[in-house]
Structure 1
Amino acid sequence: MRNLVSRTRRAVLLAAGLGAAMACGAISAQAQVKEIPIGFVLPLSGGAATIGNQTKQGAEIAAEQINQAGGIRSLGGARLKLIFADSQSKPDVGVAETERLIQRENVPLIVGAYNSAVTFPATEVAERYKVPWVVTGAVKDEITERGFKYVFRPNNKAIYDAREQIDALDLLKKETGKGPKNIGLFYEGTDWGRSHAANIKKLVKERGYAISLDESYPPNQTDLSAQLLKIRSAKPDALIVVAYTPDHILFTRQLAESRLYIPYGVHSVGGGSEDPNFYKAVSPKAVEYMFVQDDFQVDIMRAAKDPAIIDADAKFKAALGYGMNSYGSQGMSNVYIVKDALERAASVDREKLRAALAATDISSGPALVTGYQRIKFDDQGQNTYAHGVISQNLNGERRTIWPVENRLAGVKPVWPLPAPAAR
């Protein structure tokens, strides 16, 4: 009996000692972190590749700035290492890449995935593994409406985008005494397009507009002639368009060729119309007077004062041939949000990072390159201070027209639009 007790005591002491050693080892390992892997799931190939690569560029610039400035100081100067995974804009690929980043790369946090159709299921995987996820770009409302604890979205959700478009219509109508009575909807048929269209339909009913066209289409079209005939037949006073870059290029070219007159214009919600590659691919005349809902005030960079933002704009331009845009700024902002959380957590532990993200309250610095005044998440993980702007293409430049407070001096919206023959 004595031998049994003795053996038991030795086992307990051994286990306690081993546990203490493991704890010390964990603390030591924590203190000796040299590099922090941050996972990114983005569409680096496929239909949204230009957007994914712009986000990637902004993120890489931010990580370089942070590392050159001394890394994560609360972790002894640990450097950020961004690990990119290509979703190809495909939900199944995005889910598989999320699993890989968590299981094989052992990342403590993931950023992604731009496409709502990818982000929605991929964040379910992250939630299951209890890995914090910072959303970039994806706006589907339900992403932050599922009671998840590990998902945080700094940018707009779909209802915000839709509300901004209708608010801009209301503002222009109030300023001029003229405006549309009915609105057409033309949108890509995945999660993003359907979510935006559903929100527009809710809002127009409240604001007194009629819906004259409700037309979705499958992505990656080669011809939109049939849909343009439907638009012509419906005669919308204004047309809201939801399209990624390739489809938006095709639609814009074919719309210009058709010389179809939409008196209160095409109102595009981000996507392709935020992409500089879109403007390279279409004639300036084809986009003249087009309205764009954007998560970044493209005409405000000239007034930027933050040295990190000025530096990032120059590096972005050197790398891609054009200045900072919505997607580059979101990539940059995401990384600075991650830096803020790491500094406060002083840890790469996922639970501590989740708690730090939940307590985020940023009101200055390069994380606000997107144009927000504040980043603070509600109990669902949504930044309720997120907002965008509405711009109009005027004389070859995108100029902010909504909200009024964001208009630069001398900017005057064209409303209603002149007929194609008069342009």
Structure 2
Amino acid sequence: MTHHINRRGLLKASGAMALLSGLASPAILRAQTPAIKVGVLEPLTGNLAYNGNQCAAGARFAAEAINAAGGIKSMGGAPIELVIVDAESRPEVAAAAVDTLAEAGVCAFTGASASALGLASSQAAAKYDLAQVFSVGTAEAIVERGLPNVFRFTPGVTKITAVALENLGLLNEAAGKPVKTAAIVHEDGPFGSQLAGIVETELPKLGIEIVEKIAHPTPHRDFNNIALRVKASKADILIPTNYINEYTLMTRALQQQRVELMAIYSILGGAASNIKFVRENNDIAQYVIDCNHWYDPNKEASKALAASAAGAGIDMTYDVMVAYATIQVIADALERSGSADRKAMIEALAASDYDGSIMPYGPTKFVNGDNVNSRPVNLQVRGDKIEVIFPKEYATIEPVFPRPAQG
């Protein structure tokens, strides 16, 4: 079942949008049970299109799995119908697209791949009492505005940075403390700037001196000067924070400029935990470490998702994982509330104790819109795979730190 809305005003302001549904066949079987509309607001075009389309795919996989399992049972087996709208990688478009979601009758929505987009969309959604469950949105401003419609399921900058630096300290200690200096490269938006600020404050407490800090815009196309500055700093490690396109260009420039580093230790590195980056840049990806969102690969639902993604030819990235998980959270709220009323959804999400997610989290507990039981993992590229190295209970391989000397 495919559903289209033609709203000329929004089309002029925000361009193309797609309105897609869940599985068609279960809907036929439940013809007497109206579908429940759930929104997906992601950047399907523009600089963040890869991430946005990956998130949209994850949301579709989740809706298909929920519908195949009988839909929302407390509502007579109602299937989930996704309304997917393009944020075009622009905050003003993300805000305008919320009007389309509201008019389409969604009960809640997930999105939007980047903090700047999510800050705009959640603010716009507040006037509709429309809940947004963030797929990705790490800037702490997201949960500091007191908006009752905001639910960040995945961890934010503060928690991710704390975990990343703790694990960096453990790695450096175990290796005999070879790392003494670091350079920071970060995107200059709300997420990158805040993260870099925390690293700048906390890293010296590990005995590591910051010898260079470089900000860049998104998008950014030429990293040669940045690579030369990192090289001139003679930093032992590089700590980058940026999106997939910029991360890829940055690592290529580092290689071209022959920048010697003991490690690239990313915190929310846009490509470092991305199998597409590993596949297309295998030589420069080796031994890169990242602290990022990731699922628990041992859960049965995770295995089923991995199989679905492989069958559809979709890269298994954290975008797919977190979008899948946020649809799970929304479906659980629907199941408990037995209603698609928007205010009822906000109340159900606020009281969530959901423990069936594919993520390596404890029971969901939103405090001021922030899931306090979320947590990131550390990953390392090894060969053609992305392996988990921290926490130990999820580790698939022992870490290599520092990386072997480059030939």
Q: Scaled by the length of structure 1, what TM-score is found?
A: 0.84
Deviations 1:69-126 (A, max 9, x none): 2211111121111001111111011011112211x21222121111101101211111
Deviations 1:151-205 (A, max 9, x none): 1111010111211221111111222222422221101121221121122123224
In the alignment, the residues of structure 2 paired with residue 67 and residue 418 of structure 1 have an alpha-carbon distance, to the nearest angstrom, of 48
1:12-411 aligned at under 5 Å gives the runs: 34-102=34-102, 104-282=103-281, 284-297=282-295, 301=297, 304-306=298-300, 308-322=301-315, 324-363=316-355, 365=356, 367=357, 369-378=358-367, 380-408=368-396, 411=397
Amino acid at match of 1:105: A
CA drift at 1:294: 2.2
* Range with greater deviation from structure 2 (51-60 or 393-402): 393-402
In the alignment, the residues of structure 2 paired with residue 105 and residue 321 of structure 1 have an alpha-carbon distance, to the nearest angstrom, of 28
Mapped contact 1:182–1:237 kept (Cα < 8 A): yes
Deviations 1:276-319 (A, max 9, x none): 2222331x22111111112115xx63xx342x332221111111
User: Aligned to 1:45, what secondary structure does the other structure show?
Assistant: coil
Identical residues among aligned pairs (%)? 29
In the alignment, the residues of structure 1 paired with residue 159 and residue 261 of structure 2 have an alpha-carbon distance, to the nearest angstrom, of 25
Mapped contact 1:50–1:275 kept (Cα < 8 A): no
In the alignment, the residues of structure 1 paired with residue 195 and residue 160 of structure 2 have an alpha-carbon distance, to the nearest angstrom, of 8
In the alignment, the residues of structure 2 paired with residue 148 and residue 172 of structure 1 have an alpha-carbon distance, to the nearest angstrom, of 39
Instruction: Report whether the alignment pairs 1:418 with 2:407.
Output: no
Amino acid at match of 1:384: V
Deviations 1:224-279 (A, max 9, x none): 11111111111222111112111111111121222211123342524222332222
In the alignment, the residues of structure 2 paired with residue 240 and residue 321 of structure 1 have an alpha-carbon distance, to the nearest angstrom, of 28
Partner residue, 1:16: none
In the alignment, the residues of structure 2 paired with residue 403 and residue 339 of structure 1 have an alpha-carbon distance, to the nearest angstrom, of 28
Amino acid at match of 1:313: A
The alpha-carbon distance between structure 1 residues 373 and 256, as it changes in their structure 2 partners (threshold 3 A), is same
Mapped contact 2:133–2:326 kept (Cα < 8 A): yes
Q: Which has the higher helix share?
A: 1
Amino acid at match of 2:377: V
Mapped contact 2:269–2:292 kept (Cα < 8 A): yes
Amino acid at match of 2:403: L
The alpha-carbon distance between structure 1 residues 90 and 39, as it changes in their structure 2 partners (threshold 3 A), is same
In the alignment, the residues of structure 1 paired with residue 147 and residue 216 of structure 2 have an alpha-carbon distance, to the nearest angstrom, of 31
Deviations 1:25-54 (A, max 9, x none): xxxxxxx86111111110111222111111
CA drift at 1:128: 2.5
In the alignment, the residues of structure 1 paired with residue 165 and residue 267 of structure 2 have an alpha-carbon distance, to the nearest angstrom, of 12
User: Aligned to 1:419, what secondary structure does the other structure show?
Assistant: coil
Deviations 1:317-355 (A, max 9, x none): 111254x33111111111111110001111111111111
CA RMSD for the aligned pairs?
Answer: 1.8
Q: Scaled by the length of structure 2, what TM-score is found?
A: 0.88
Mapped contact 1:73–1:343 kept (Cα < 8 A): yes
In the alignment, the residues of structure 2 paired with residue 343 and residue 404 of structure 1 have an alpha-carbon distance, to the nearest angstrom, of 34
The alpha-carbon distance between structure 1 residues 51 and 82, as it changes in their structure 2 partners (threshold 3 A), is same
Amino acid at match of 2:230: I
Mapped contact 2:136–2:322 kept (Cα < 8 A): yes
Q: Which runs of 5+ in 1 are unaligned?
A: 1-31
Mapped contact 1:187–1:217 kept (Cα < 8 A): yes
Mapped contact 2:275–2:385 kept (Cα < 8 A): no
In the alignment, the residues of structure 2 paired with residue 57 and residue 231 of structure 1 have an alpha-carbon distance, to the nearest angstrom, of 37
The structure with the larger Rg is 1
* Range with greater deviation from structure 2 (104-113 or 201-210): 201-210
The alpha-carbon distance between structure 1 residues 41 and 305, as it changes in their structure 2 partners (threshold 3 A), is closer
User: Aligned to 2:222, what secondary structure does the other structure show?
Assistant: coil
In the alignment, the residues of structure 2 paired with residue 312 and residue 267 of structure 1 have an alpha-carbon distance, to the nearest angstrom, of 26
User: Aligned to 1:229, what secondary structure does the other structure show?
Assistant: helix
The alpha-carbon distance between structure 1 residues 276 and 415, as it changes in their structure 2 partners (threshold 3 A), is closer
Amino acid at match of 1:246: N
User: Aligned to 1:271, what secondary structure does the other structure show?
Assistant: coil
In the alignment, the residues of structure 2 paired with residue 124 and residue 352 of structure 1 have an alpha-carbon distance, to the nearest angstrom, of 19
Count of residue pairs brought into register by the alignment = 376
User: Aligned to 2:388, what secondary structure does the other structure show?
Assistant: strand
In the alignment, the residues of structure 2 paired with residue 172 and residue 343 of structure 1 have an alpha-carbon distance, to the nearest angstrom, of 43
